[in-house]
Structure 1
């Protein structure tokens, strides 16, 4: 404790005299005492060091002689305190002798501060806020002056009221001592009023200067634009130019690499090429961004540099949250995902062949107009799945020029089919369907692999004995004879006439005419011909065409009424 008091006395008393610095916390005696010479200070410090070392030696001897653990622990604590005091005295002696320098600064390395990302981010963002403060300095200064003006106007009003009250009190006071005290107080309030008036004058002058419009606003605007063009505007142009130059240069090298590699068709080679292209594009973006940052760093534009760094950090943070989705896209891009090149995929109800996988995937359907090509972003393929396909699998229910039937009764010719719409000629008019609605109508293609026209024709039960032996072969021969005279006869493949069923009121025959796709336009003509020819055969050979019979049973109480009635 004595040594610490000595150190405090030297620091607060003698050292201020040595360096000629005022000591605010020293005692009155220390302030009035004559400053010590450097030699006296060093002598005093050396004596203190010797005393501490002697005390240490004595305490070490006591530790060796004592047998009480508690007493030994207490002495050890005193030794540690003396060691700290001794080191402080030695440092103080050294700094006094060298004028404030110390060997410890050369021997000990400065302790590195721990990394704090918030502090580092503040250091990056500080130039941005400093620049924003400069941009808004004038309006903020005006607001501060207006607020200060209101405060001093209030003070001036209070001072004037107090002075008026004091003048009345002085005029009414008789006692000399009271009047003297009032005069002193009066002078103090006058000083406050004058101070408020002077401050208000300065505030009014500053506000008037800040609010005064420029005499030449055009020249001022031109000067500001010129300053921006030669300063920050030029920095923006250089940074963007550097970014675009590096990116376009590396993109050109990537295209050259892709063309050289496109001649190879080995699967392993193409996969490695995709990996190389992906790494190349990532490197291009990183180098381009680094070039922009380097340009702003060389130009000493810390505002734009801070904004660019914060933008980069924001982009990286956003990529971190969507990383799983990007991993899926990368797998697809490398032909290792659920969608693979050369396979078949269904997109919006239409099958497509995946021609090439890239950031924009190329799909192809050979039966659609305009080459049937569709360019699709790779993110659309994440939740899809492709599969290998057989060579004979259909790519669309129809082709342009085909005859189709929609929903079993809409007959028309396909004029145009694209990835979005299908145009058909129906009853002489052009009708447009979306691909989804067209496929939903279950189109039946008559032109692709041919078609069949079936009809059911019945004869009366009185021909039951000859239906199989005479009517079926006779009707077949009659139909074949009449078909020869029709324009669609060359497209006929097969004609079937068979007994179909024994219905309630007729014996039904089934007539089926099978044609090639070339006769699809005569579909309804063929159907009408078969019906017409069957009736003509019945007329020629006397076959009775039955009509539907309905039997009505009446109660026995009315015998005069007929028991059955035939309704045709």
Structure 2
């Protein structure tokens, strides 16, 4: 039973490996240098100059808005000017950050600030536990998310610049009209200046976004280069930790397996027949082995402080424990069955899919056997035995009514030879060569009569009532002698043949003809039945016996074997 331990941890190993492959394939960290093409100095200087000009313009607009806000002119419009100052300040902050990032070539730090002590909260603690895993996911997807975000930003800038161009075109068209009042012309000039400033600001921001996008795309690695970086990172940190954890896991399983072999070899629990106590020990030892292996694996990852792999493993273990709580009744049933205390027990007989089988072993994958079937050994998961029941069996009980090569007569009058009988199908070859395929359960439901073990034919021979005086004396002996002589001239020699007077009815006298044939004649069963009828009629004709006028002279009895 302990040999099944590796099967129980296969799913854990698969998920652990999948998680490692997922996170080890993330973009290369800062400790793996990635070369990027040098930025053109002239282009960067031009972009910085445009950004500086835009920043000066926005600062002037902020100062103007603040000046107006403090003057009587803003009376009743304070909220409007405060909102404008807020928007301009946000633009100025974004421009200053872009200027600094472009000049330094380093993105703004997002290092969290240290906080004070706080009370214990499950939500917070769970977030801290999962933080390494979430950071790995964010790091893995950072580059494609940044590139997609920059492309979306550029599309937004293009749409806004197109809208500004339309606005400037409309303002220019209005300014070109004659007879404009001085106040209207001044307002249009102010509006045009506002839109031009906005256009210059967007052009600067668009240029900054384009430079960022070019830098991100320039740092893309080829597939081979990325593979080399991931391989280098694998053997440098996380791969080493994963290999160590796997070595601890398999080493623990191997050591526990060897220890069990020693115990099995020297303990009195294990004899020729496995006892209940041995099964209890096997089950307990399997649980202890899995627990110790997981604890050692978790401890090894804890010692090397690999919180990502440790988080994956802990999530896996907690998930298995959480989902297993609803399966406790089923698990208890499996434990009872593994201890050979359930409704199905080793060495007993059960019916599976309508066919009897012997339970040869009960384990995580149990074995059923029917030696009368070709390929009659089944391996079933333990859960498939829950709804079954077994019982002790007697040595004289048949496991199947036929063997391959036997001739059978089914309840639907089918006469056929069994060519194949397996747990899935029974092949019947009919007279003439046709093949009929049915399941073993269907075959058994047709109550097959095995003719290859020998069979009996019974015919009811009827005479006219005028032979009443001799029907019970001379006629049975004469008919028996005649039939024996006639069958001796054929290849169907009956092992026993007898004729007995059966009954007297007003319209006829009835005799019973019983003929037993060996199994070698099973193939010709229909021909022998017809020959028996024929011989009875020929004997009656030769003996000048009168037959009933309105009744069948010979009638075969069905179901005799």
TM-score range, shorter chain: 0.5 to 0.7
Alignment match, 1:311? 316
TM-score by length of 1: 0.63
* TM-superposed deviation, 1:189: 11
What RMSD, in angstroms, separates the aligned Cα atoms of the two structures? 4.3
Higher Rg: 1
Partner residue in 1 for 2:214 = 208
Task: Return closer, same or farther for 1:262/1:517 CA change in 2, 3 Å cut-off.
Answer: farther
Give the alignment of 1:46-125 within 5 angstroms.
113=119, 116=122, 118-125=123-130
Contact 2:407 2:415 (8 Å CA) reproduced: yes
User: Contact 1:423–1:430 at 8 Å: present in 2 too?
Assistant: no
Residue of structure 2 equivalent to 1:511: 513
Aligned-partner SS, 2:405: coil
Aligned 8 A contact 1:472 1:499 in 2: no
- Which of 399, 406, 427 is the matching residue for 1:402? 406
> Secondary structure of the residue that 1:429 maps to in structure 2?
coil
Q: Encode CA deviations 1:177-233: one digit per residue, 9 max, x unaligned.
A: xx9xxxxxx999999998877666544433332233558775455334432343334
Task: Go from structure 1 to structure 2 and tell me whether the alpha carbon gap of 1:416 and 1:461 turns closer, same or farther (over 3 Å shift).
Answer: same
**CA offsets 1:526-553 (integer angstroms, 9 cap, x no match):** 3233223212221221102334389xxx
1:426: which partner in 2? 430
Deviation at 1:128, TM superposition (A): 0.9
How far 1:127 moved relative to its partner? 0.8
Aligned equivalent of 1:325:
330
Change (3 A) 1:338 1:286: same
Match of 2:248 in 1: 242
2:298 paired residue number: 293
Does 1:349 pair with 2:354?
Answer: yes
Does residue 128 of structure 1 match 2:133? yes
CA contact (8 A) 1:500 1:510 kept: no
Q: Does 1:339 align with 2:348?
A: no
1:360–1:378 CA contact under 8 A, matched in 2: yes
Q: Which runs of 5+ in 2 are unaligned?
A: 1-115, 176-180, 187-191, 553-561
Correspondence for 2:525: 523
In structure 2, C-alpha distance between the alignment counterparts of 1:303 and 1:443, rounded to whole Å: 65
- Does residue 417 of structure 1 match 2:424? no
After superposition, the Cα gap between the structure-2 partners of 1:366 and 1:207, relative to the gap in structure 1 and judged at 3 Å, is: closer
Q: Match of 2:347, SS?
A: coil
Partner deviation per Cα, 1:483-522 (whole Å, 9 max, x = no partner): 5555544x51452422345274x33322112345455345
| CA–CA distance in structure 1, aligned partners of residues 482 and 135 of structure 2 | 104
Contact 1:235 1:296 in 2 (8 A): yes
Larger RCO (CA within 8 A; separation ≥ 6): 2
Q: Distance in 1 between matches of 2:196 and 2:519?
A: 117
Question: Once structures 1 and 2 are overlaid, which stretch shifts more, 358-367 or 478-487?
Answer: 478-487
Aligned to 2:498: 495
Q: Distance in 1 between matches of 2:465 and 2:330?
A: 74
Match in the other structure for 1:138: 143
2:87 aligned partner: none
1:264 aligns with 2:271: yes
Q: Which residue of 1 aligns with 2:39?
A: none
Q: Decide whether the 8 Å contact of 1:495 with 1:514 is kept in 2.
A: no
Task: Name the counterpart of 1:363.
Answer: 368
Distance (whole Å) between structure 2 residues aligned to residue 531 and residue 122 of structure 1: 92
Number of residue pairs matched by the alignment: 422
SS in 1 for 2:391: coil
Aligned residues of 1:352 and 1:395 also touching (Cα < 8 A): yes
Q: Distance in 2 between matches of 1:414 and 1:227?
A: 66
Partner of 2:98: none
Change (3 A) 1:196 1:428: closer
Alpha-carbon separation, structure 2, partners of 1:481 and 1:146? 106
Map Cα deviations across residues 348-371 of structure 1 (whole Å, 9 max, x no partner). Answer: 11111112221122222232234x
Write the distance in 2 (CA, Å) between the matches of 1:335 and 1:358: 10
1:153-194: CA deviation from partner (whole Å, max 9, x where unpaired): 969969x98xx99xx9xxx999xxxx9xxxxxx999999998
Tell me, in whole angstroms, the C-alpha distance in 1 between the residues paired with 2:304 and 2:219.
33
Q: Distance in 2 between matches of 1:290 and 1:548?
A: 92
1:540 alignment counterpart: 542
Q: CA deviation at 1:328?
A: 0.8
Structure 1 residues 148 and 360 mapped into 2: Cα distance closer, same or farther (>3 Å)?
Answer: closer
1:374 to partner: Cα distance: 2.0
SS of aligned partner of 1:468: coil
Residues 234 and 215 of structure 1, relative CA distance in 2, 3 Å threshold: closer
Q: Say if 2:273 is the partner of 1:273.
A: no
Distance in 2, matches of 1:193 and 1:520, equals 104
Distance 1:306 1:417 in 2: 54
Aligned to 2:236: 230
TM-score normalised over the length of structure 2: 0.63
Cα separation, partners in 2 of 1:479 and 1:380, compared to 1, 3 Å? same
SS at match of 1:322: helix
**Structure 1 pair 262/356, CA: closer, same or farther in 2 (3 Å)?**
farther
Q: Is the 8 A contact 1:251 1:281 kept in 2?
A: no
What is aligned with 1:283? 288
Structure 1 263/533 Cα, relative in aligned 2: closer, same or farther at 3 Å?
farther
